[in-house]
Amino acid sequence: MTTPGSNPDAAAARAPRSLSASAQRVQEALTGAGFDAQVFELEIPVRTAAEAASAVGCEVAQIAKSLIFRAERSGRAVLVITSGANRVNEATVAEKLGEGIGRADPDFVRERTGFAIGGIPPLGHATPLETLIDEDLLTHREVWAAAGHPNALFRLDPRDLARMTGGAVTRVR
């Protein structure tokens, strides 16, 4: 006879996967906001869109890169979530925001997002971020985003990016 809950394989399948603290924060932000996405951690870090795509077996265009810029006049932090296949055109973004932008330095990124470059997630940030979402991401059925740590990712419907960030879907190229 099998006692319910005594099968070690079933127990392992149910056990919460162990996540690093920063990835766990993203999982909690997702769950708390009503999204059922599951954060998971790879054995190896994936610091670029190309590495992430090859690790999860998707197209590089399906990686949602989270890039932080600093608005020049207001000093606000701007999150641009772009397709791994695209390069953000700072002039295009500046025009949408009504002020110039520049690449944020690592300290600014950590201070405003609470995370280090290489694992910036689309949600769960330390401070509110003005957010723009690359319209090209919406051409995919599913995309993958960083989850707070270089080894951590989650899969989502790209339409959820707008819901979880309040960001505008627009052209950023």
* Residue 97 or 149 having the CB closest to ligand 5CA: 149
Stretch of residues binding ligand 5CA (CB under 6 A), selected from 5-13, 24-32, 97-105, 156-164: 97-105
Closer by beta carbon to ligand 5CA, 67 or else 156:
67
Binding of ligand 5CA at residue 122 (CB under 6 A)? no
Least separation in angstroms between CB 149 and ligand 5CA:
8
Q: Is 61 in the site for ligand 5CA (CB under 6 A)?
A: no
Rounded distance, CA 160 to CA 103, Å?
26
**Which one of 52, 77, 164, 172 is in contact with ligand 5CA (CB under 6 A)?**
52
From 10-18, 25-33, 64-72, 123-131, span contacting ligand 5CA (CB under 6 A): 64-72
With CB under 6 A as the contact rule, which of the stretches 21-29, 115-123, 134-142, 165-173 interacts with ligand 5CA? 115-123
Compute CA 35 distance to the chain's CA centroid, rounded to the nearest angstrom: 14
CA pair distance 62, 73, nearest whole angstrom? 32
Token pair 């090209």 is found at 136
Residue 66 has φ and ψ, to the nearest 5°, of -105, 110
3-state percent helix, strand, coil for the chain, nearest multiple of 5? 35, 20, 45
With tokens 């995919």, the residue in question is 140
Phi, psi at 36, each rounded to 5°: -95, 15
Closest approach of ligand 5CA to the CB of residue 142, in Å: 14
Backbone angles phi, psi at 164, to 5 degrees: -85, -15
First to last CA, the chain: 62
Q: Does 79 bind ligand 5CA (CB under 6 A)?
A: no
In the complex, which residues of this chain contact ligand 5CA (CB under 6 A)?
46-49, 52, 63, 65-67, 103-106, 117-120, 146, 150, 153
